[in-house]
Chains A and B, each alone.
Chain A
Amino acid sequence: MREDEESLSAPEAVRLMTAVAANRDRAAFAGLFGFYAPRLKAFLKRSGMTPSAAEDVAQETMLLVWKKASYFDPARAGVSTWIFTIARNARIDRLRRESRSAVIAEAFDPSDQPDAPVSGEQAIIAVEREERVREALDLLPREQADILKMSFFGEVTQSEIADAVGIPLGTVKSRVRLALGRLRQILDDLK
């Protein structure tokens, strides 16, 4: 198989996504697949899935990227963020299917609903949002950034976080709350 893509800049990702949406461009899709599929697999594993389930959901997510390409709107979210939300919903759907016998065709995603038109100012913010959040994480105290990253992977239990960060279990929750408040403050200041 082809080598995994080492890097993909945000504008290049948008160019590939747009080519998939507008021209059903398979080479562009292969470029996205090379970068994102192995990262989706790693991400889903870290969220508590077995390697084979993570592989499946990564595949499923990339197929949904093809199917839903026309919904991608660079004014609303970067490509990584958009693909993350698709994977998140595919994972929710998978867990739900596993927890009961009935089979449902496709995950219902409230965010697929049409939104109000985006203003010019919002569009600029959307492009920069991933970058700003990354910047804000760097500005957070290391411990708070670590707690946020760890709790983002929902399957990581609070006691695992407590072990890793070396704080009592009881304080994890309040630390998460504190870190979220601090992150919000930094992001508001960056505006």
Chain B
Amino acid sequence: MINHHPSDETLFRYANGSLESGPRIVVAVHVGACTACAERIARFEALGGSLLHDIEPEDMEAGSLDQAMAMIDAYEAGRGEAAPAKRLPRADVGIRLPEVLDDCGIGPWRWIGPGVRWSRVTLPDDDSANVMLLKVVAGRKLPEHTHAGYEYTQILKGAFSDARGRYGPGDLDEADDDVQHQPIVDKDGECICIAALEGQMKLSGFFGRLIQPLFGG
């Protein structure tokens, strides 16, 4: 049962392409497991489709169709010669990761503080995005803190709770700068999440404060 979903604004930005690539992949992980949000995105994309369909057209340059046909010829002639996509290295992190992450690089677990480990997630087309897996041992209480911007955290395994509620597998925690909380991981097992930060802001969110030194914060 999924209880925490991305906001309408976030899904709207996912659909119109303005959500940054880090948060985008975290939202994609959520949507891959949440049919309700998949439908919400499909609606916003349909909004994009209807805007495209109804927009006042603008002339393409002369010869543009011939040019398109020439590109198709070149593509068809070169088919099968394309080198296979380069695979990014993937460490075994101990759980089966969602399919949307199949093309991402996954780093080994690294110690970051008592009871907390992280692994870097590298996007195939944007190595500057701040995306990471985080693993926190059972029962660990994180220091009370506030956020300095948006953090997107999708729970893959285990659960944590704070004043806002309990976040379990499939839940997405979209925490903005107003959130002040003191999360505690469930006693009966470790918690693994995928998290992304929006922009190059100061990191002070749920996991952000722990990993800030890694990004030279």
Contacts and interface: CB of A to CB of B under 8 A. Distances in A.
Interface string A71-82: 000001111111
Contacts of A41: 57-60
A22 interface: no
B90 interface: no
A177 B49 contact: no
Interface residues of A, number: 74
Given A33-B68, A113-B99, A133-B43, A43 B124 contact: no
B60 A37 contact: yes
B46 A59 contact: no
Interface in A30-69: 30, 33-34, 36-43, 45-46, 54-55, 58-59, 62-63, 66-67
B28 A111 contact: yes
Main secondary structure on chain A at its contact with chain B? helix
A66 B99 contact: no
A91 B51 contact: no
A149 B52 CA distance: 11
Interface in B172-206: none
Interface residues of B, number: 56
A128 B46 CA distance: 10
Interface in A133-189: 133-134, 137, 148-149, 151-154, 176-177, 180-181, 184, 187
A84 B45 contact: yes
A15 interface: no
